[in-house]
Amino acid sequence: MTYNAYITKEQITGSSEGPLAGKTVAVKDNISTDGVQTTCGSAMLEGYIPPYDATVVERLKAAGATIPGKTNMDEFGMGTTTETSAFGAVENPAAEGHVPGGSSGGSAAVVAAGDADLALGTDTGGSIRCPAAFCGVVGIKPTYGLVSRYGLIAYANSLEQIGPIAPTVEAAAELLEVIAGPDERDATTQDATVHGTEYDFAAAADGDIEGFDIGVPIELVEGADDGVAEQFWAAIDELETMGASYHEVELPSVEHAVQAYYVIAMGEASSNLARFDGVGYGQSGGYEGNWNDTFARSREAGFGEEVKRRILLGTYALSAGYQDKYYRKAQDARAWVKRDFDEALAEADVLASPTMPVSPFERGESLDDPLKMYLADANTTPVNLANLPAISVPAGETDDGLPVGIQFVGPAFGEETIIRAGSALA
């Protein structure tokens, strides 16, 4: 069975030695690979060959990894189902007839199907954790600034991070060790040792959660479907038998997280995607006329509908007269979410919730209803707004046999803590 998980299958061989020698690591197609087509799942970039490697790709190669190809994704990362790719939708290997989640759906699918040992995804509002949850694998969204974004083709810079997808927490942690660390070519990266961590992520996957205090944000459980909530509480029970305890916490701000996330992400997207005009790279279409007309026609032909929707809504939210109403309020909401999480994490080691409030959609189910798709990001987007690390770990299946994921959120640069919590389950 093929899941349409790769856009380009072209092997990139790394160094012969290193912690990832003998391992295959598939790479999401919005991460630049020197000499190998990188499309972002968009017709606009079909045929685009980056002249350099992203920092994470350099680090994979130096660590001995073999990259088997570039994985399919929602166009420019804009989607929760991996159905908006110009190269066709991806199917979920763990739940046939259903979507793999998105936007890193191809990366989660190749790991779930065993076609690659590991994969890199990117997470702007849940794009690693959602497909990890839907495909029954592990995904980590690192603290903002832990991993270099140099060579990542930007969608919403202030929110996104590159992170690992793997069959186990320990394997995800090993891959995170390879890609993490400051980079002079991304000024938003930080040295995590300043924040009290030594990048010993794999060693933290010891499953020892004796005495762990888990905060459960009640808003993020109440919004979940019954079948998902049931599996979530079963996982919490299991953690309790291992010596952890839990208490409920309230995060009133999260009610506004999806609104704030979409206003900010769309605003940043409208600016970032202005570069695709068919002159420096990408598809030009070769239209006649003055440049504004030509650009507008190239962009009409090169972008899919979800991308156009987000560029237009972002342009609207940033336009004269609406900036205070939407963009500034979204920034206030972002600060509020961050404060809520910081306060809750002062009283808990980690916060736990279902990764996704729903189980995987049937294919095609959400395509005609963008708002329905956006609302599925309720539990993942707050973490990006707060710049925090989070891991999604498998937590059983619904009665219909659909995978469920549990998410642990930790303090900034608290990767070791969320890895420890997750490793108790997978």
Span 246-265, contacts to another protein by CB under 8 A: 253, 255-256, 259-260, 262-263
359 is catalytic: no
Interface with another protein includes 282 (CB under 8 A)? yes
Q: Is the dihedral of CA 24, 29, 32, 38 positive or negative?
A: positive
Please state, in angstroms and as integers, the Cα–Cα distance from residue 335 to each residue in 47, 103, 382, following that order.
40, 25, 11
Q: Could you give the string, one character per residue 36-75, with x where binding to another protein holds by CB under 8 A and - elsewhere?
A: ------------xx-xx-----------------------
- Among 107, 127, 298, 392, which one carries the catalytic annotation? 127
Interface with another protein includes 157 (CB under 8 A)? no
Count the residues of the shown chain that bind another protein, applying the rule CB under 8 A.
Answer: 58
Which position among 102, 125, 142, 370 is part of the footprint of another protein (CB under 8 A)? 370
28 is catalytic: yes
Q: Is the dihedral of CA 225, 230, 231, 236 positive or negative?
A: positive
Q: How far apart are CA 41 and CA 82, in angstroms?
A: 9
Q: Could you give the string, one character per residue 326-365, with x where binding to another protein holds by CB under 8 A and - elsewhere?
A: x--xx-xx-xx--x--------------------------
Which position among 222, 280, 346, 401 is part of the footprint of another protein (CB under 8 A)? 280
- Closest distance between another protein and the C-beta of residue 48, in Å? 6
Which position among 213, 300, 399, 400 is part of the footprint of another protein (CB under 8 A)? 300
103 is catalytic: yes
Q: Are 5 and 72 in contact (CB under 8 A)?
A: yes
Q: Are 132 and 165 in contact (CB under 8 A)?
A: yes
Interface with another protein includes 199 (CB under 8 A)? no
Q: How far apart are CA 387 and CA 236, in angstroms?
A: 25
Please state, in angstroms and as integers, the Cα–Cα distance from residue 400 to each residue in 97, 98, 362, following that order.
13, 12, 12
- Among 28, 61, 70, 141, which one carries the catalytic annotation? 28
Q: How far apart are CA 385 and CA 243, in angstroms?
A: 31
Q: How far apart are CA 426 and CA 420, in angstroms?
A: 10
The structure tokens 């710049």 sit at 387
Q: How far apart are CA 370 and CA 366, in angstroms?
A: 7
Considering the complex, state which of residue 144 and residue 201 has its C-beta at the smaller distance from another protein: 144
Q: How far apart are CA 115 and CA 137, in angstroms?
A: 13
CB atoms within 10 A of CB 35: 12
For the chain, how many residues are written?
Answer: 426
Span 123-142, contacts to another protein by CB under 8 A: none
The structure tokens 């609104």 sit at 259
Where does this chain touch another protein (CB under 8 A) — which range of 18-26, 161-169, 280-288, 397-405?
Answer: 280-288
What number of CA atoms fall less than 13 Å from residue 118's CA on the CB side? 26
Considering the complex, state which of residue 238 and residue 372 has its C-beta at the smaller distance from another protein: 372
The catalytic residues are 28, 103, 127
List contacts with another protein (CB under 8 A). Answer: 48-49, 51-52, 184, 187, 253, 255-256, 259-260, 262-263, 270, 274, 277-284, 286-287, 289-292, 294-297, 299-300, 303, 305, 308-309, 311-313, 315-317, 319, 325-326, 329-330, 332-333, 335-336, 339, 370-371, 374
